[in-house]
Structures are given as structure tokens and as C-alpha cells.
Amino acid sequence: MAARIYPVDYYYTTVDDRPGQGCRFLRALAAEDVNLVAFNAFPVGRDRTQLVIYPLNAVWLGDFARHEGLQLQGPHHAFIVQGDDELGALVSIHEKLCNEDINVSSANGVTDGRGGYRYILHVHPEDYERALAVLGVDQNLRPLAEYHLDLRRRFQAKG
């Protein structure tokens, strides 16, 4: 299977780097039915951690952030690549970008253990539109589009 490339929006926030911060954040997201396509956390500076959230539904993430008083930065744009796990699977994608002088600013990937992989790819904001064209991304595609969503909501006023 050829790689499928999807556009994805992401948001981030920065929290104190303490044990349990990520756990509490993920638990709160789950409690409010905010489903994620991906999540990443990494240190920024000595005492802070950046949480990067790739929501399946950005509106629900925004509702959650307002409810919790959380400052989110975004939306920002990235790509999710999905394909068959084979030697050199990512080379052609990087070559297309390289040939057009588009820098990959960060990327993370994982195999699924069943012969496939998923890869999150970031380019600089000023290169995003060109990268869409170079990679031939269909902007109407969304990762996990076939995902079933339970549309119930449980937000309650804080008292």
C-alpha cells in the first residue's frame, strides 16, 4: 500500500514538569470525551513540559480548555503518514520535501506490530501549503475518519 498522508491540526500547552502532570491531563481529557489522534510530551527548559495534543475533534478540545481555564496554542498544522512498514518507507516522503527545499522540523513514528506504521511530520508554518502540494495531500481526508464517535458531552459548570 502506498503511504496515505493526512493533514492534522495540533495544539500545545506548557505545564510544570512534575510527576503525574501528563497523567492528570490525559485523565481529564478522557473524562470529557476528548479523543486524541496522537499525543506527545517533551521537556522545554528545566522545569517545564510541553504537551502536544492532536485531537480527533478540535471543538471538543477547545470546550475542554475553556472549561479547565487552560491556555492552548494553536491550531498548528502537521501531517500524519500511514503506510506499510517496509525498509525505507519514509525515504520517498522526505525526498519530495528535500527536493523542494522544505525542511522537516520534527517527526515521530511508530510501527503497529502488524505490518503498518504511523508517522507525524511537522514542517515550518511558512512551508505548510507548499508541503501539502508537494506531498499531494487531499485536504478532505482526515486520520481515523472511520472512527466511531459517541457524541455525548458531560461538561458541568465549575462550582
Instruction: Report how many domains make up the chain.
Output: 1
- The predicted model scores a pTM of 0.84
Is 150 inside any structural domain? no
Can you give the pLDDT at residue 68?
Answer: 87
Domain membership of residue 157 (yes or no) is no
Quick check: is 144 in a domain? no
pLDDT by position in tens, the chain (length 159): 678 999 999 999 999 999 999 999 999 999 888 999 999 999 999 999 999 999 988 888 999 999 888 899 999 999 999 999 999 999 999 999 999 999 999 999 999 899 999 999 999 999 999 999 999 998 776 655 554 445 455 545 444
| Non-local CB neighbours of 152 within 8 Å, separated by 6+ positions | 33
Question: What are the Cα distances from residue 86, in Å, to 65, 91, 130?
Answer: 39, 11, 27
Q: Residue 147 falls within a domain, yes or no?
A: no
Q: Do 38 and 54 meet the contact criterion of CB atoms below 8 Å apart?
A: yes
Q: What is the CATH number of the domain that holds 34?
A: 3.30.2130.10
Residue 31, domain member (yes or no): yes
pLDDT of residue 104: 98
List strands edge to edge, sheet with 48-55.
Answer: 36-43, 48-55, 4-16, 73-84, 116-123, 104-111
Burial (0-12, 13-18, 19+ Cβ within 10 Å), 77: middle
Residue of 70, 62, 9 lying closest to 38 (CA atoms): 9
Residue pair 5/80 in contact (Cβ under 8 Å)? The answer is yes
In a domain, residue 154? The reply is no
Q: For position 25, what pLDDT does the model report?
A: 92
Is 145 a member of any domain?
no
The boundaries of the domain holding residue 20 are 4-135
72 domain-assigned: yes
For residue 72, which of 83, 82, 60, 86 has the smallest C-alpha distance?
60
